[in-house]
Amino acid sequence: MDLILWRHAEAEEGSDDMQRALTRRGQKQASAMATWLRKQLPDDFALLASEALRSQQTAALFAKSYEVVPELNPDASVEQVLTAIDWPRSGKTIVLVGHQPYIGRLAATLMSEQPLLWSVKKGAIWWLSHRERHGIEQIRLKAMMTPAMLGID
């Protein structure tokens, strides 16, 4: 089972954090990443976004249909996110459009079992894969992609 952690693309500044919209550059970032992801993903996946406008706009550039999950809002903890997405038990690939700092903490926790804060660029994805081998659970990094790697600066 795979988990794609996708940090929302660049958003406008503003005092109402939940209503910050994508900038024109952010729209280009999200669109480029969405195009790349569509070519890579299996048909059966769940697309989840937080209640924040920028997260939903990022998700909408990938697919018309996505689920809004309040537990993915900017102030979420790693534990809240893992409970909300039920990964890896959900049985399908999950694309989670969310926020720093929990995306960086989630990647660090899953990959290193350490509560570190890893930096994740706006619009970037970290694609993790879960498997069990010889009774041991493993998390592998399948891909890490930034908008700059797709030619969007």
Q: What is the pLDDT of residue 10?
A: 97
Q: Are 138 and 132 in contact (CB under 8 A)?
A: yes
C-beta separation of 126 from 5 below 8 A: yes
pLDDT given for residue 90 in this prediction: 77
55-108 confidence digits (pLDDT tens): 999 999 999 999 999 999 999 999 999 999 998 887 889 999 999 999 999 999
Token pair, residue 31, equals 């669109």
Q: Are 97 and 124 in contact (CB under 8 A)?
A: no
Q: Cα-atom radius of gyration of the chain, to the nearest Å?
A: 15
What residues contact 92, with CB distance under 8 A and at least 6 apart? Answer: 1, 44, 45, 46
pLDDT, residue 43, reads: 85
Q: Three-state SS for 115?
A: coil
Q: What is the mean pLDDT of the chain?
A: 95
Residues composing the chain: 153
Query: pLDDT (tens digit, 9 = 90+) per residue, 1-59?
Result: 899 999 999 999 999 999 999 999 999 999 999 999 999 998 889 999 999 999 999 99
What pLDDT score does 117 carry?
93
- Does residue 133 register a pLDDT over 90? no
pLDDT for the residue numbered 91: 80
